[in-house]
Amino acid sequence: MSNGLTFAQLRATRPVILPSMLLCDFGNLEREVRAVEEAGARALHLDIMDGHFVPNITYGFTIIEAVRRVTELPLDVHLMITNPEKYIPQFVESGAGLISIHIEAVEDPRPLLEQIRSLGSAAGLVLNPPTPVSAVEPYLEACDYVLAMTVMPGYGGQKFDESVLSKVRELRAMLPPEVLVEVDGGVSAETIAACAEAGAEMFVTGSAIFRTPDYAASLVELQRLAQVNR
């Protein structure tokens, strides 16, 4: 079974803009996936919410499998769920090439990160805006990427939290270059350059793609703004 490009292949093409399918038209899921792919997306972000870890409920394996059937793009699956340890193999089987778990959802993320890697997917650790970098620091060597939430998770279309930029900077400074920093929440043409400047190289964008009339134009502009000379 292939889950699209490997993380190493994706990393080689950074900065990477990841459209968040949460904001797409689910009545036309296949068309939306193809539209962002044709617009130039190189990976997609899928938000799994359980109504427990976060107040909102989204979707599960069926939708990931449906997306997997219509595209070869790597699927970055963001787990906003309690007890993620119960489901990792099933997420990999559904087509998740990248899986991120919240530090706030588990006591010890290490076994899960190792399990994700051992099953052939890339492992990410997520921290909410109020969570300090020190909470994830002991586990960084088990990560392929670290996701700094720039909103409280649960909904698309929220306002970007600028105070997280200092955390992005801190993470970038302590991580080896092959471990990427991802940002998620309120990332748009207005905020993406500041994220890139701070060291982010993976950018989740929901409204900034799906709430615009021309996905390709939005992606090109976001990609341009995410390009910084470091």
Ligand X SMILES: O=C(CO)[C@@H](O)[C@H](O)COP(=O)(O)O
| Known binding-site positions | 20, 45, 47, 78, 154-157, 184-186, 206-207
Closest distance to ligand X from the beta carbon of 56 (Å): 8
Catalytic pick among 50, 144, 161, 184: 184
**Is the Cβ–Cβ distance between 94 and 64 less than 8 Å?**
yes
| 47 scored as a contact of Fe ion (CB under 5 A) | yes
Closest CA to 71 of 30, 99, 104: 30
Question: What is the per-residue DSSP string for 66-94?
Answer: HHHHH--S-EEEEEE-S-GGGTHHHHHHH
35 vs 204, which CB is nearer to ligand X?
Answer: 204
Euclidean distance between CA atoms 72 and 43, whole angstroms: 9
Residues of this chain that interact with ligand X (CB under 6 A) are 20, 22-23, 45, 47, 78, 151, 153-158, 184-187, 204-208
23 vs 168, which CB is nearer to ligand X?
Answer: 23
Interactions with Fe ion, residue window 172-201 (CB under 5 A): 184
Helix (H, G, I), strand (E, B) or coil at 45: strand
Euclidean distance between CA atoms 124 and 140, whole angstroms: 9
Mention every residue, 6+ apart, whose C-beta is less than 8 A from residue 152: 128, 129, 158, 185
Closest distance to ligand X from the beta carbon of 126 (Å): 9
Is 161 among the catalytic positions?
A: no
Euclidean distance between CA atoms 114 and 24, whole angstroms: 32
Is 184 among the catalytic positions?
A: yes
* Cβ atoms within 10 Å of 111's Cβ, excluding its own: 12
Residues contributing to the annotated binding site for substrate? 20, 78, 154-157, 184-186, 206-207
Q: Specify the stretch interacting with Fe ion by CB under 5 A; choose among 5-13, 39-47, 105-113, 124-132.
A: 39-47
The residue ranges that bind Fe ion (CB under 5 A) are 47, 78, 184
Catalytic residues: 47, 184
